[in-house]
Amino acid sequence: MKVQVNRTVVDIFDGARSQHAVLRYLVQRRRPRTLLKQGRIQDAYGHDIGLDAPLHEGQIIKFKV
């Protein structure tokens, strides 16, 4: 399925969680994976979501360090 992380579309497996999408985003952008633990993940409306938040096709999330 495809989700959007910081205006970048990433392709992840069905049933993936927010941490999987952010990890894929970091790999695509050639950023260190350790940033996952330092940042915050938010939904499209700016609400914080956890690392284990389920995602669905076309969802938009934001990752901030």
For the chain, the maximum distance between any two Cα atoms, rounded to a whole number of angstroms, is 26
pLDDT digits (tens, 9 = 90+) for 31-53: 999 999 999 999 999 999 999 99
For 27, half-sphere exposure in the C-beta direction (CA atoms, 13 angstrom radius) is 9
Task: Look up the domain containing 28 and give its range.
Answer: 2-64
Whole-angstrom Cα distance, residue 39 to residue 34? 9
Number of domains in the chain: 1
Prediction pTM value = 0.92
Residue 6's pLDDT is 97
Specify the CATH number for the domain of residue 33.
3.10.20
Q: What percent of the chain has pLDDT over 90?
A: 100
